[in-house]
Amino acid sequence: MTQSQSKIAAVVALVVAALAVAYFGIQAKGGVTGLLASGRPAPVTMGEGGAAARSVESEEIGPENAKVKIIAVVPIAIPCHKETIAALRDITKAYPEEVHLTLVDFHGPDAGKWMEELDFHCATIFINSEYKFDLDGREVIFEQKEGMKYKPEHLKPVVEAELAKAT
């Protein structure tokens, strides 16, 4: 075997090994069917002790017939959303009869249902079924982690504007 043929054989062996690892990794996650069932990647679990192991059940606060309905699907156990969660809870305390909050852990058992129903793929906060708002002439988008496209302090003025529209 020539040196060039040896190099080609080594590359082929590496590609086959990588494909085998990928195949068995997908099988361990529920197979291709599970991976693609909803048209988006399956949630990745982080193993024992990871965020998935720290997931919590969904929480609902406030009356179901409230004027403003908030659905927040965020990774509750991860610190990069703690100020957002605190702001949402403060809003429900400030407007106990007007605001209904559904707080869903992004890594919890209910997240997939909400992701399928509302068609999103990252941490997102919906206020009356919307997650993009105009706030003082600039667009605020309640997705990803706080500080990227929104700040936790943007939540209250948006909720107050939604309450004003509902009156």
Phi first, then psi, for residue 134 (nearest 5°) are -95, 120
> What pLDDT, on the 0 to 100 scale, is given for residue 104?
92
Q: Which pLDDT tens digit goes with each residue over 66-88?
A: 999 999 999 988 888 999 999 99
Domain assignment of residue 56, given as a range: 51-166
Residue 29 has pLDDT above 60, yes or no: no
* Same domain? 134 vs 57: yes
* The model's pTM: 0.67
In a domain, 41, yes or no: no
* Same domain? 97 vs 152: yes
Residue 135 has pLDDT above 90, yes or no: yes
Higher pLDDT among residues 115 and 95, named by residue: 95
Question: Within a 13 Å sphere around the CA of 90, how many CA atoms are in the beta-carbon half?
Answer: 13
In a domain, 44, yes or no: no
* Same domain? 60 vs 31: no
In a domain, 100, yes or no: yes
